[in-house]
Every structure is written in structure tokens, then in C-alpha cells.
Structure 1
Amino acid sequence: MSRKQMHLATILSNGLGLPYAWLEPQVDPADYANIHALVRYAKAAERGKLDFIFLGDFLAQSQRSEAHAPGQTLEPTVVATAIALATDRIGIVNTVSTTFEKPYNIARVLKTLDVVSGGRMGWNAITTSAPHAAANFGRAIDDRETRYAQADEVIQIVQALWGSWQEDAWIADKNARRFTDLSKIAPVNLRGTYASSRGPLEIPPSKQGQPVMAHAGASPHSHALAGRYADILISEVFTIDEARHQRESLRRAATAAGRNPDDIKFFAGVIPTIAATPAEALARRGRLVEPDIIQQVHYLGRLIGLPLGPDDLDTPLSAAQLSAARANPGDPRSFRALEVAREGWTVREVLHHAVIDFHPAPIGPPEVVADHMQEWFEAGAADGFWVTPDIYADGMDAFVDGVVPLLQQRGQFRTEYEGETLRDNLGIDHQYGLRQPHSKP
């Protein structure tokens, strides 16, 4: 039996990296809107045999200040098209909101991309909860129960539309003058409380049948939705214990939905900073933290139960402060923050360790990042990782050329793609149409 190996993905957002990456000398700020830069990073990820590129989306303004780069720029469907035409094996998981998009449009666009890419597309089906995003659609945000009930209906309709052109419906028999067998292309006629569609969708299956399903979220509602439909869960966890807890919650949801929990891949996030030495890596990450250092020092104080401010930045915590410090059990980042503080770093250096980031941040030579991922994987905390380079301009290559070979040498990651489609490379079973019988929405 072959040894189980981890899966790897990366995220492309604004073409730059973390919010202040654009200030670094190696970065061209014009990459914010440069599709060629995004394609270049996608090709690097494919060179590293990564499973897929994750294209997030946020439907409103994300820029916090004039120095802070927005988190999202070009529309993901357009980006996915460019990447699909420039690559051969790497998958592309596209985020589309079930809150604001109609199921027929979702089904049509994503299945088209799946055909165009040769069976390499996935759909990150999410709900949208930001009021300023709703305002862009002339709407208000519904309550969570309504949003997830709507998502359930939209996903069912989309998958039904994907299967409305049956897999053997395309005949293309010139002698018989039969392009298709119309008995195998039928309306879905689904009507629910929040969404409906007649169908059918006149797009044949791709090489993998239809797109892979993904979901991003950590709430019980998210896990229930993912348990019913997802092949991939994109998570936001900071410790091994938290990741195990989330992964087990997801597996229980899959079991409750009548599925094999092994069929859903749990991806944990990581934001590495890679350099030749630990000191160089810490200095690099520190430059990306400094613009927010004043806000972060106050937040660090709340994490570890101390009244910290700008005057505390350039000295280590005293013995009395360390004795009084307590990790906040409501925020898993606090345990790492206190651990780093106890190593004797100044408060500024503690923050340079990215202890307030929304994902773990291994900082150092490639071995440090590989060790982090191997530890989590072997601890059963994740089936794979989605990697956010700190600075795209050189961070993607640093991961692909530095970390990936180490994981391959250790037998933790593939050396070649398993197949041509995203399902092949993730080891996901074939699906066409709805995953399993559901009541109509």
C-alpha cells in the first residue's frame, strides 16, 4: 500500500501578497492588476505539482488605508480562464457566492470553465455575510439560517443542471443526422423557496464530469453544508488541536449526511516567510508587520492579558509581566504569542513573528516550513495545506523550489501529477449531477 501523502494548494488574490508586500523593492505595484503576473505564479505552482490554485473573492471594498493594498482585484472567473489556458495539470478552485449569484449562471460559467480547462475546475460555494457586499447588489444581508438554506438550494440546482446533459447524450452521428440524443438532455424543473431553474444546461461533461465542490468556513452551518456537498474544506485554524477539532467536526457532518468522511479533504492555511537564515526571514516578515505595529501591540496585550502599548515595543516582557501573562482561551493565536514572548524576544519581535496573522506563519529557511507542514500532517490535523506566499514576486518560487523538494524527499508529497484532472490529483471519486438523492428544494 502506498504511503498517504499531503495535498498542496496556493491562493492567488491581489497579485502582490500580504497587504504591504507592494512596498518591497522586488515588487512591481502594477502586478495588482497584471494578469500575466498571476499566470506566472500559477505556472510556478504547477511546476511544484500543487493540486490547485484557490481564487478567493470578496464582493466589496477591502482596502483599510492608503498604504494597505486591497485583498482582491481581478474578477476570479476571468483569472481562472487565463490560468486554465496557460497551464495543463494544476486545478483551479473558483469562489462564487450562493447569496448573490443565480444557479443557472453559476452552473453555466463553471461547467464551461471545467470543459475549457480539461476537467480542472472546482467551485468554492460560499455564503456572503458582509453588509457592504450586499449593498453592492442593492440588498440587505439575510440571517445565517436563510443564507445557508439558500446555499443548499443553489448547490442542488447547480449540480442538477450539471447533470442535465447526460454523459452519453452527445452522439455526433453525421450519417444518422443525430447531434445528440435529446431524451438524455432534460430540464431539471427545480423550484425552491430561494432559487429555481428549469434547465437543461447544454454543456457536455468535462474530462472529470463536472467541477469539484469546495467550501470555506468553520461554523457548524459551514460544516453541515460541506458535509453534504464538499470534496474540499478550506479552513482557518491556528493550532494543531484546533485543526483536529475542526476536521473531526467536518467528518461527523459528512457521516451524518451519509457520506464517507474520508471523501472530504481538509485544508489548513499557512503563510510562510522563507529566507536563507532565520534572521533574514524574521526581518522580511517584520517589514510586512511594521505598518500595523501600533494596532497590533494593543491587540497582543489583549491576547495575553497584559496592558501593552507602543512604549513596550522595544523591550522583552519582564519576569513579572510573563508571570502575570495568560493566554486567552477564546483565541488560539494567544498560545503561540505567549510561547514566542517567553523566548525572550522584544515585543516588536514577537509581533514580527506574525503571531496575530489569521494562519500559522512558519518563518525561516525552507526546512522550517516543511517541518511545520509535516508535523501537522502526521498529527492528523490536515489532509493538505493552502499556502499564501507573503510576497508573490519571490515567495511563490521560494516555496516551490525550496519547500516542495524537501516534502518530496521525505515522501510527504507527490513528484508527478496522478492524472489530468483535479479529481484525479485529489483522489476524488467521479460525480455527475447531484451527489446523492436529495429532496427537491
Structure 2
Amino acid sequence: MQFTSGYGAEPGAWRLPGANLRSYTDMDQFVRYAQAAERGKIQLLFFADTPVLDVDLERQVPHFAIDPLLVMTSIARETERIGLVSTASTTFNEPYSLARQFKALDVISHGRAGWNAVTTSDPAAAANFGRAVPPRAEKYERAHEVLQIVQALWGSWEKDAWVLDVDGKRFADMDRIQPVDLQGRHVASRGPLPIPPSEQGQPVIFQAGGGGYGLELAGRYADGVYANPYTIEDGQAQRQALRDAAERAGRDPDEVKMFAGFMPAIAGSRRAALDRRRFLDESVDLRQRVRYLGAMIGLPLGYRQIDEPLTADQLADAVPSPHDPRSARALEVAREGWTLRDVLAHGVIDYHPVVAGTATDVADHMQQWFEAGACDGFSLAIDGYHDGVDAFVDQVVPLLQERGLFHLDYEGPTLRDHLHAREQYGLDPRVTETAAR
């Protein structure tokens, strides 16, 4: 389940009736949402992050939490099982700081931490560090170095180094706490890291990057990958490409799980769900969205038509763009006779597939994608947290459990247990051997 600034995946979520207007800074509110997700046995909470203010706060809430690692630490103290995963850039962070922060969270949470290791391409974010965005190849070369050094640092304190021998007056065995002494072209670290292993050894690695460079990074290091397929066919292709990348890196393809982004809007009926999304859409620029919808289906649409359906002549002229996988769905919805406002409320231009309907509609979508092999799981972008998390947990999860598609309880205490991820402590020797060839 994705967590953002505390309100929801939709820009207008902060305006929902009953929402806590101070969720952005209210850690008790984050804890309540996390506890609700844990009640539903959700495997993990995911905090995306880009280190920049990228919205106009006059009209929009921030995209990201005030500081994901600190918010997750607050949640860790008030939960027991749910995993806690955050994005942190390999482009503008040093490996020692990353290793220390994420392993500290892993120890604090008793083995429930994960790191989504990504590169940064936003020039405004780069400016916050007084730098420019490096060329793509250089960014990913640095990413490989950072990931290897971070994992080496995680393993620099051996599992049995913390002896705690009161009679022998030995706190730890320094022969088992060793420097890593790694020097790359872009980053380096001496080590060691002064933190013992957690119950899962070290944090789980995630990745969320497209293209050949991103695939290679995910195939070598990641146990979980966030992807944005819009159709089942696209999901199947992305998942197979990811599995092939893992195999090229000398790993078992089953070790890498792909999570498909998905946006449910749950209500008692399709009409009620669309009305909810129409309310949320009041916070976005609908004039711009109508024009964008027209570009997707090859029509010059104007805002004056927003509360009318497409005419027969428009439907005859409409053609989905071959360059946008969302276009076919947009035209399909328009042909059902909805007004343009309702077409947009269906989420046809959102960055994830949207299901606006009943809990059964949402469960059906998830079952169809999962059984088709379009993903290994889902990254849920709940429209508004204040009632949407409970709706998913209390209405959709029981349906998935009844269908034998979702577990009845956590498989164990750690994030690795939840994901059936392989054991790892320090660098994966298979990956370093493959890289050396």
C-alpha cells in the first residue's frame, strides 16, 4: 500500500469529508492508517520520495511525506508485522548514510525495513544538492556502486559479532566487525557500519526504474520491483523482462516480485464511486484534462462539453493514440455514453489503472491481473486514506481471502518472510561474480 503525504493518492483527498486536515504532519494519523493496513495483513507500506517541493502548495498538497524514514520510524514503534519501504536516491546520497539509516530502521522495526533504490532525474531535486543531473549511464553506474557498497556495509558486522559476554567483559567481537574498504569511480566507503543485524539480517532491496538500465539494476539486486503497466499484456511483458534480467544476473527469476500500481475507488455502486472521484477531481485542472483526453483519442475537445457525452460524429472520428496505452480504455469508456466529466472520473488518464466501483469490482480486477501473470502483487494507491484504507481492508481483503488469493495471516515477523524473499546478509556473491565476468 502506497503512502504519500498523509491524505491519499488523489490531489483532492485532503478535502474529503472527515479527513484530518493536518495529516501531513500528524504521526498519530499515519500510525492509524498503518495499523488498519496491518489489520488487513497488507505486506508492506511504501513511501515514494523525491527530494524536492514539486507542487504549487496554493492548490495542491505535497506529493511526499515530510521525511519517509522518520515517518516509518514512528510507524515502526506502533506496529508489529507490516513492512516499511521507502525510496532513497542513489544519485545524491552517500552509501554510508543510506546504509546506516536503513539498517537502523531495520533494527528498530525488528526486520521490517526495505529500501527502494532509484536514481534521480529531476533537475529541481538535483539543485537542492547543488548539483546537476548526471547523464543516464553515469547515474546507473553510480547506482551499482552505491548498492554494492551499502550491502557490503550492511554485512560488515557479522551475525554473531554481538557477544554481550558480561562475565568476560566483552560487548562485541571486533574480529567479526570489519571494514569493507570499497572504492568505486563515483563513491567509496571504509566502514564498518556499527549496527548489528536485524531479525531479517538486512533490509530488502526494491527498485522502480524503467528501460534497460533500470532492468539491469533490478535484475541484479532487487527482491521487489514497482512497475506501472496499464494493461494485462503490458504487465505480462514487463514481468517477463524483469525475470529475464534476474536470470542474466545469475539469479532465480522467482526471487524478483513485480508489484503493479493500481488505484481502487471503493463505494456501494459504480455511480457512487464515480461521484467520489468527481469530488476528488475538483482539485485538478479539468480544462487541461479535457484537452488531454481529446489528444488521447484524436479529437479537439473543449471544456464546454465536459457535462455531455461525445456525439455520434465524434465517436465515429475518434481514434486511440498508438503512443499511449491508456487511450484504448479512454475511448472504450467514452463509447459507453458517459459525460466527459465521468469519463475522466473513471481514471482514464491516471498513471495507474483505476477501478471505480464496488469491492467486488476491485477484487475481480486484481484476480484477473494476478491469474494472468501480469504481476506478482499490487502497489495500492488508495484515493483517500481517511476512509479508503479501511474500505479496502474491510471489504476487498475478505473477498481475496475467500477466493484463496490472499493470505489469512503474515507468514512470519519480517519483511523477507512476507515476500518469501531469499536470505541475504551482505553482498550477494552471485551478483558480484556475474558483474565480474
Q: TM-score range by the shorter chain?
A: over 0.9
Residue number among 238, 245, 249 corresponding to 1:253 in the alignment: 245
Judge conservation of contact 1:123–1:212 (CA < 8 Å) in 2: yes
User: Aligned partners of 1:389, 1:248: CA distance in 2, in Å?
Assistant: 27
User: Aligned partners of 2:261, 2:183: CA distance in 1, in Å?
Assistant: 37
User: Aligned partners of 2:89, 2:298: CA distance in 1, in Å?
Assistant: 38
1:7 paired residue number: none
Residue 416, structure 1, aligned to residue 405, structure 2: no
Deviations 1:405-436 (A, max 9, x none): 11011110001111000001111111000012
Judge conservation of contact 1:227–1:250 (CA < 8 Å) in 2: yes
Residue number among 305, 316, 321 corresponding to 1:323 in the alignment: 316
1:269 paired residue number: 261
1:296 paired residue number: 289
2:234 paired residue number: 242
Residue number among 78, 82, 87 corresponding to 1:86 in the alignment: 78
Moved more, 374-383 or 23-32: 23-32
3-state SS of paired residue (2:329): helix
1:32 paired residue number: 24
User: Aligned partners of 1:431, 1:73: CA distance in 2, in Å?
Assistant: 29
2:173 paired residue number: 181
Unaligned residue ranges in structure 2 (runs of 5+): none
Pairwise CA distance, 1:162? 0.5
2:4 paired residue number: 13
User: Aligned partners of 1:401, 1:294: CA distance in 2, in Å?
Assistant: 36
Judge conservation of contact 1:286–1:353 (CA < 8 Å) in 2: no
User: Aligned partners of 1:424, 1:65: CA distance in 2, in Å?
Assistant: 40
5 Å-filtered alignment, 1:158-169, equals 158-169=150-161
Judge conservation of contact 1:55–1:95 (CA < 8 Å) in 2: yes
2:344 paired residue number: 351
Judge conservation of contact 1:217–1:236 (CA < 8 Å) in 2: no
Residue 99, structure 1, aligned to residue 127, structure 2: no
Pairwise CA distance, 1:174? 2.6
Pairwise CA distance, 1:142? 0.4
1:153 paired residue number: 145
Deviations 1:188-235 (A, max 9, x none): 000001100001112111000000000112222111100000000011
1:75 paired residue number: 67
User: Aligned partners of 1:424, 1:28: CA distance in 2, in Å?
Assistant: 33
2:357 paired residue number: 364
3-state SS of paired residue (1:86): coil
Identity %: 53
1:6 paired residue number: none
Judge conservation of contact 1:124–1:216 (CA < 8 Å) in 2: yes
Judge conservation of contact 2:47–2:65 (CA < 8 Å) in 1: no
1:15 partner amino acid: G
1:132 partner amino acid: A
Residue 50, structure 1, aligned to residue 38, structure 2: no
Pairwise CA distance, 1:278? 1.3
Deviations 1:52-78 (A, max 9, x none): 000111111121362221211310110
Pairwise CA distance, 1:34? 1.1
Judge conservation of contact 2:116–2:205 (CA < 8 Å) in 1: yes
Judge conservation of contact 1:62–1:72 (CA < 8 Å) in 2: no
Pairwise CA distance, 1:181? 2.4
3-state SS of paired residue (1:179): coil
User: Aligned partners of 1:14, 1:279: CA distance in 2, in Å?
Assistant: 28
Residue 62, structure 1, aligned to residue 67, structure 2: no
2:382 partner amino acid: P
Residue number among 220, 224, 228 corresponding to 1:232 in the alignment: 224
User: Aligned partners of 1:428, 1:50: CA distance in 2, in Å?
Assistant: 16
Moved more, 210-219 or 61-70: 61-70
1:50 partner amino acid: I
User: Aligned partners of 2:342, 2:268: CA distance in 1, in Å?
Assistant: 19
Judge conservation of contact 2:45–2:84 (CA < 8 Å) in 1: yes
User: Aligned partners of 2:383, 2:179: CA distance in 1, in Å?
Assistant: 47
Judge conservation of contact 2:47–2:64 (CA < 8 Å) in 1: no
Judge conservation of contact 1:218–1:246 (CA < 8 Å) in 2: no
User: Aligned partners of 1:242, 1:87: CA distance in 2, in Å?
Assistant: 36
3-state SS of paired residue (2:103): helix
Moved more, 401-410 or 63-72: 63-72
Q: Indicate how the Cα distance of structure 1 residues 112 and 277 shifts in structure 2: closer, same or farther if over 3 A, else same.
A: same
| Paired positions, count | 432
Deviations 1:83-138 (A, max 9, x none): 11110000001211111111111111111111110100001011111000011111
User: Aligned partners of 1:75, 1:160: CA distance in 2, in Å?
Assistant: 25
Moved more, 429-438 or 196-205: 429-438
Supply the RMSD in Å over aligned alpha carbons: 1.3
Unaligned residue ranges in structure 1 (runs of 5+): 1-9
User: Aligned partners of 1:42, 1:62: CA distance in 2, in Å?
Assistant: 25
Moved more, 254-263 or 322-331: 322-331
TM-score by length of 2: 0.96
